[in-house]
């Protein structure tokens, strides 16, 4: 009798649930990471169905999820570029000094309670793996050298580690922006030198060399504006402490379309690495060895005869304006 | 026993009413190796670094600029807000710089650097009060605050704040804390032997401020000479009684002390001694109160024990605030051999220092130097669920369970199991056979709960 009653009540008062909500939820990773701004995957699913959240909102699911959701909802997905986390510290056990021997809980957040951790540099990666512990995608590896490194293949840019790192040295960067200044120390150059071999010593060499004014000094730290950076990598060779690094992958390069080149020579004049050669009024050629793909020549070519060489990787196209 | 009979016994100064007990606690080796060494004046260092934040609460604002001449006792930092006190120049000389300097809490903080002129001349601004007992309580509190007096047992909580309970919290008892339950430390012990009059006069000022007529001087029974001395001096003062406590760490912790003496329990979740009608003050604080009120001398020096097997001659030193601990260790003959740890405070609750440049602050009760052979221990092993930490916890928590919650980021559960009641006394760490860093885990959970509350 009671079950009959319950059944009737359920039928009478039951709330209609949009079946699409469940369908959307099935397509989501289900890790409730909160990267979308909603507390859980099911809440995000409801928001997608109610058209409150974009189908591209799921950071962790990435491109595949966005496309699947777009298909289900009958909309077009406008894909942004994937972001990945980058740890802004290169000073592992080898390169940096410590204040004391730490013996305690193997966790960065617990370790910072004790005099800010054992690293002499107050901005250094402690390498005790709080980021590794919280990463839902196993994208963090703690190296032998006691540094946290992020596998950009596995990283989905969900941003959990960024929030959890007690030193605040993890940053989300578009995957194409492969050049990063891997130091976050705001201390004076002389202090940094004492504590770490690979820190930013505020020499400003990178600021001077950057053709795009993408690097500026924030106090005693060089900071890269990724919006302006064109991933030319000029700064990498200039940094005396090797604090600037590029993630793996080929650098973009330019090529000259022979039919359009008038041989004016402007490109060879603006090229910061002398990679373009050719006689006046003759078709110019780009040296594959030297070109760093900064695209300065593209900006200046009067006949639009220079373009980026199609690199295959969609991310790299960002380097062209 | 009803109130009347207790009062009667009290007035004819019979032996103290019976002692109660607090649950938990441990009894580590007492190691009071410096207890028979009289207080020695430390020579004035050439350079002193006075942190602008030496107390719990808002840091001071510097009132001097580089190049200024200061004399001993001049104010160099102005209190900001109610829970804050002034800081003063401990020596005479020239302000060299105002900058960020190493601080005992582990991260560099703003401080005033003063270079000595060797004269050690007093400021002319001292305001002594001969008839200080006639001053109204409010004026007394103001003097205490202006003279920068804070709790000198270690926590450095501004004393005037403790003396300002709201009207709905009537206070009936002042406890004068001379327990000194941390191993090694003997600073309070020596102070009770060498300056007991100051402590008693300070207690009388405190009782006047609070309007109470009962003061209990509590001393652990491993200091019989101090107990005798205090008993002798309070014979004619019926409102003060001296009580010998059993030796048990953390007997000197406020809540445990109140439980032992009065069988009153400070309520959990943010309760304070004032909720049960008690104010507890350390003996050093009371001596500082007397000096501040009677002579107008600000808190610019304190007694600090420099001890442990790592120093050649353990001593009790009278040091100026801001003296780098390096100078103290030198004055005690330097290190014996390979040093493992330099702890500011006692070995149970003190903070390990990584630099000898850190200065002595108002709360520095001792410097304990341990050898490498004493601190080297294996890494943490899995919990064997023996329950030692649960038995040892004076706050009646379950450290092992809380530790697991902290490790698994289960902070809501940790909060439900009252992790915020942890007094960080270190008893659980001390007894844990698996060497699990329980205090650190609990501190981590507490810190995380606090940041989450702030964010919410």
Q: Give dist(CA A172, CA A161) in Å, integer.
A: 10
- Contact across the interface for B447 and A113, Cβ inside 8 Å: yes
Same domain, B11 and B88: no
Q: Is the Cβ of B379 closer than 8 Å to some Cβ of chain A? A: yes
- Domain endpoint, select from A31, A46, A73: A73
Q: Which of B399, B366, B365, B367 is nearest to B385 (CA)?
A: B399
> Per the confidence metrics, is the pTM higher than 0.95?
no
Cross-chain CB nearest to A110 (options B106, B351, B440): B440
- Contact across the interface for A104 and B440, Cβ inside 8 Å: yes
Reported in sequence order, the residue ranges of B311-389 that DSSP labels E, i.e. its strands, are: 315-320, 339-344, 351-353, 366-371
Whether B325 is covered by a domain: the verdict is no
Q: Give dist(CA B439, CA A42) in Å, integer.
A: 38
- Contact across the interface for A109 and B106, Cβ inside 8 Å: no
Same domain, B189 and B281: yes
Q: pLDDT class for B268, splitting at 50, 70, 90?
A: confident
- Domain endpoint, select from B116, B148, B164: B116
Structural domain containing residue A172: 83-246
- Contact across the interface for A99 and B447, Cβ inside 8 Å: no
The domain spanning residue A274 has which CATH number? 3.30.70.20
Describe chain B by its helix, strand, coil percentages, rounded to 5.
30, 20, 50
| Stretch B352-373: mean pLDDT | 95
Q: pLDDT class for A249, splitting at 50, 70, 90?
A: low
CA distances from B212 to B163, B170, B208, B239 (A): 12, 9, 7, 9
Under 8 Å CB pairs connecting chains A and B tally to 39
Q: Which of A71-80, A194-203, B149-158 has the lowest mean pLDDT?
A: A71-80
Whether B56 is covered by a domain: the verdict is yes
Q: Which of B361, B214, B179, B205 is nearest to B287 (CA)?
A: B205
Whether A30 is covered by a domain: the verdict is yes
| Residue B159 contacts residue B150 (beta carbons within 8 Å) | yes
Reported in sequence order, the residue ranges of B151-229 that DSSP labels E, i.e. its strands, are: 173-178, 215-220
Whether B290 is covered by a domain: the verdict is yes
Q: Is the Cβ of B451 closer than 8 Å to some Cβ of chain A? A: no
CA distances from A21 to A45, A57, B44, B164 (A): 6, 15, 75, 59
Whether A318 is covered by a domain: the verdict is no
The domain spanning residue B13 has which CATH number? 3.40.50.11540
Same domain, B105 and B186: no
Looking at residue A241, what is its pLDDT? 95
Structure tokens at A180: 């990063």
Same domain, B397 and B267: no
Whether A235 is covered by a domain: the verdict is yes
Same domain, B25 and B104: no
ω into B250 cis (within 30 of 0)? yes
Structural domain containing residue B272: 3-30+128-295
Same domain, A155 and A302: no
Q: Is the Cβ of B354 closer than 8 Å to some Cβ of chain A? A: yes
The DSSP element (H or E) to which B382 belongs, if any, is: none
Annotate A43-70 with b (16+ C-beta within 10 A) or e (fewer). Answer: bbbbbbbeeebbbbbbbbbbeebbbbbb
Q: Which of A66-75, B277-286, B297-306, B394-403 has the lowest mean pLDDT?
A: A66-75
Whether B149 is covered by a domain: the verdict is yes
Same domain, B144 and B17: yes
- Contact across the interface for A107 and B444, Cβ inside 8 Å: yes
| Stretch A67-73: mean pLDDT | 84
Q: At what angle do helices B187-194 and B224-234 cross, to 10 degrees?
A: 40
Whether A129 is covered by a domain: the verdict is yes
- Which chain B residues are Cβ-neighbours of A110 within 8 angstroms? 406, 440-441, 443-444
Locate the chain B residue with the closest alpha carbon to A105.
B437
- Domain endpoint, select from B228, B263, B295: B295
The domain spanning residue B51 has which CATH number? 2.40.50
Q: pLDDT class for A312, splitting at 50, 70, 90?
A: very low
Q: pLDDT class for B10, splitting at 50, 70, 90?
A: very low
Same domain, A285 and A179: no
- Domain endpoint, select from A26, A47, A73: A73
- Which chain B residues are Cβ-neighbours of A109 within 8 angstroms? 444, 448
How many domains does the structure of chain B reveal? 3
Whether B352 is covered by a domain: the verdict is no
Whether A161 is covered by a domain: the verdict is yes
Strands B240-245 and B215-220: parallel
Q: Which of A298-302, B46-50, B398-402 has the lowest mean pLDDT?
A: A298-302
Query: Is A313 a residue whose pLDDT tops 50?
Result: no
Same domain, B192 and B226: yes
Query: Is B174 a residue whose pLDDT tops 60?
Result: yes
Q: Give dist(CA B278, CA A123) in Å, integer.
A: 44
Locate the chain B residue with the closest alpha carbon to A110.
B444
Residue partners of B85: CB distance under 8 A and separation at least 6: B55, B57, B60, B79, B145, B148, B149, B150, B158, B159, B160
- Contact across the interface for B440 and A109, Cβ inside 8 Å: no
Concatenate the DSSP letters of all residues of A208-229 into one string: HH-TT--EEEETTEEEE-TTT-
How many domains does the structure of chain A reveal? 3
- Domain endpoint, select from A246, A277, A296: A246
Looking at residue A311, what is its pLDDT? 52
Query: Is B49 a residue whose pLDDT tops 50?
Result: yes
Same domain, A67 and A95: no
| Residue pointed to by tokens 């040296």 | A287
Whether B179 is covered by a domain: the verdict is yes
Q: Which of A304-313, B96-105, B128-137, B388-397 has the lowest mean pLDDT?
A: A304-313
Same domain, B68 and B148: no
Q: Is the Cβ of B106 closer than 8 Å to some Cβ of chain A? A: yes
Whether A314 is covered by a domain: the verdict is no
The residue among A39, A112, A114 with the most chain B CBs within 10 A of its CB, best to mutate, is A114
What percent of chain B lies above the pLDDT cut of 70?
Answer: 96
Q: Is the Cβ of B352 closer than 8 Å to some Cβ of chain A? A: yes
CA torsion, ordered B205, B207, B210, B215, to nearest 10 deg = 150
Same domain, A152 and A236: yes
Same domain, B109 and B143: no
| Stretch A187-207: mean pLDDT | 95
Same domain, A107 and A43: no
Looking at residue B11, what is its pLDDT? 39
Whether B261 is covered by a domain: the verdict is yes
- Domain endpoint, select from B246, B266, B295: B295
Structure tokens at B347: 């070995």
Q: Is the Cβ of A107 closer than 8 Å to some Cβ of chain B? A: yes
Q: pLDDT class for A9, splitting at 50, 70, 90?
A: confident
Cross-chain CB nearest to A115 (options B354, B377, B437): B354
Instruction: Return mean pLDDT, chain A.
Output: 87
Same domain, B132 and B104: no
Residue partners of B326: CB distance under 8 A and separation at least 6: B356, B357
The CA distance from B161 to the nearest CA of chain A, in Å, is 27
Looking at residue B158, what is its pLDDT? 95
Q: Give dist(CA A227, CA A92) in Å, integer.
A: 29
The CA distance from A116 to the nearest CA of chain B, in Å, is 7
Q: Is the Cβ of B440 closer than 8 Å to some Cβ of chain A? A: yes
The CA distance from B149 to the nearest CA of chain A, in Å, is 26
Neighbours of B412 (CB within 10 A): 11
Looking at residue B1, what is its pLDDT? 41
| Stretch B417-432: mean pLDDT | 96
Whether A317 is covered by a domain: the verdict is no
Q: Is the Cβ of B407 closer than 8 Å to some Cβ of chain A? A: yes
């Amino acid at each position: 009798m009671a079950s009959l009653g319950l059944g009737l009540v359920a039928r009478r008062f039951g709330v209609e649930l949009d079946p699409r909500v469940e369908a959307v939820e099935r397509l989501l990773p289900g890790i409730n990471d909160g990267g979308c701004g909603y507390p859980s995957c099911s809440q995000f699913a409801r928001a997608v169905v109610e058209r409150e959240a974009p189908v591209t909102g799921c950071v962790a699911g990435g491109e595949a999820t966005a496309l699947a959701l777009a298909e289900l909802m009958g909309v077009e997905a406008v894909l942004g570029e994937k972001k990945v986390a980058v740890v802004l510290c290169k000073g592992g056990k080898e390169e940096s000094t410590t204040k004391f021997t730490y013996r305690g809980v193997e966790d960065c957040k617990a370790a910072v309670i004790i005099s800010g951790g054992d690293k002499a540099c107050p901005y250094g990666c402690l390498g005790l793996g709080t980021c590794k512990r919280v990463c839902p995608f196993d994208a963090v590896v703690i190296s032998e050298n006691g540094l946290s490194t992020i596998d950009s293949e596995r990283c989905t840019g969900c941003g959990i580690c960024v929030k959890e790192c007690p030193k605040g040295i993890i940053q989300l960067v578009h995957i194409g922006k492969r050049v990063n200044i891997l130091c976050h120390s705001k201390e004076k150059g002389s202090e940094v030198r004492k504590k770490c071999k690979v820190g930013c010593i505020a020499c400003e060499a990178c600021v001077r060399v950057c053709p795009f004014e993408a690097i500026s000094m924030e106090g005693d730290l060089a900071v890269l504006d990724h919006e302006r950076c064109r991933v030319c990598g000029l700064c990498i060779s200039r940094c005396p402490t090797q604090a600037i690094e590029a993630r793996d992958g080929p650098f973009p390069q330019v090529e000259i379309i022979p039919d359009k080149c008038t041989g004016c020579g402007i490109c060879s004049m603006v090229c910061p690495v002398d990679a373009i050669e050719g006689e006046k009024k003759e078709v110019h050629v780009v040296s594959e060895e030297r070109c760093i793909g900064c695209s300065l020549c593209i900006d200046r070519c009067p006949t639009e005869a220079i373009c980026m060489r199609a690199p295959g990787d969609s991310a790299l196209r960002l380097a062209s304006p | 026993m009803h109130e009347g009979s207790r009062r009667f016994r009290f007035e004819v100064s019979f032996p103290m009413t019976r002692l109660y007990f607090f649950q938990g606690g441990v009894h580590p080796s007492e190691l009071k190796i410096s207890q028979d060494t009289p207080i020695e004046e430390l020579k004035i260092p050439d350079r002193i670094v006075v942190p602008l934040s030496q107390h719990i609460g808002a840091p001071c604002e510097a009132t001097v600029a580089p190049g200024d001449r200061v004399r001993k006792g001049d104010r160099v930092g102005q209190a900001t807000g109610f829970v804050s006190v002034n800081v003063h120049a401990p020596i005479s000389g020239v302000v060299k710089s105002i900058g960020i300097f190493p601080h005992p809490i582990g991260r560099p903080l703003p401080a005033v650097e003063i270079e000595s002129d060797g004269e050690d001349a007093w400021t002319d601004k001292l305001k002594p009060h001969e008839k200080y007992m006639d001053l109204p309580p409010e004026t007394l509190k103001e003097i205490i605050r202006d003279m920068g007096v804070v709790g000198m047992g270690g926590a450095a909580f501004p004393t005037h704040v403790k003396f300002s309970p709201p009207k709905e919290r009537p206070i009936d008892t002042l406890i004068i804390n001379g327990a000194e339950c941390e191993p090694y430390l003997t600073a309070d012990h020596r102070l009770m032997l060498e300056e007991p009059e100051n402590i008693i006069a300070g207690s009388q000022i405190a009782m006047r401020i609070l309007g109470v007529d009962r003061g209990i001087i509590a001393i652990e029974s491993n200091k019989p000479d101090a107990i005798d001395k205090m008993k002798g001096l309070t014979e004619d003062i019926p409102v003060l009684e001296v009580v010998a406590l059993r030796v048990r760490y953390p007997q000197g912790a406020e809540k445990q002390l109140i439980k032992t003496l009065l069988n009153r329990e400070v309520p959990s979740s943010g309760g304070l001694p004032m909720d049960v009608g008690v104010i507890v003050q350390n003996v050093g604080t009371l001596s500082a109160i007397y000096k501040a009120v009677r002579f107008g001398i600000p808190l610019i020096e304190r007694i600090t024990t420099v001890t442990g097997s790592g120093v050649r001659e353990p001593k009790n030193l009278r040091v100026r605030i801001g003296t780098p601990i390096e100078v103290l260790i030198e004055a005690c003959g330097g290190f014996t051999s390979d040093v493992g740890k330099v702890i500011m405070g006692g070995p149970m609750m003190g903070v390990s220092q990584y630099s000898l440049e850190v200065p002595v602050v108002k709360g520095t009760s001792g410097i304990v130097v341990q050898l490498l052979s004493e601190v080297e221990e294996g890494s943490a092993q899995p919990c064997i669920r023996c329950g030692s930490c649960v038995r040892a916890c004076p706050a009646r928590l379950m450290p092992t369970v809380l530790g697991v919650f902290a490790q698994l980021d289960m902070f809501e559960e940790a909060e439900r199991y009252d992790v915020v009641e942890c007094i960080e006394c270190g008893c659980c760490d001390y007894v844990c056979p698996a060497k699990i860093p329980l205090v650190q885990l609990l501190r981590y959970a507490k810190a995380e709960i606090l940041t989450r509350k702030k964010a919410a």
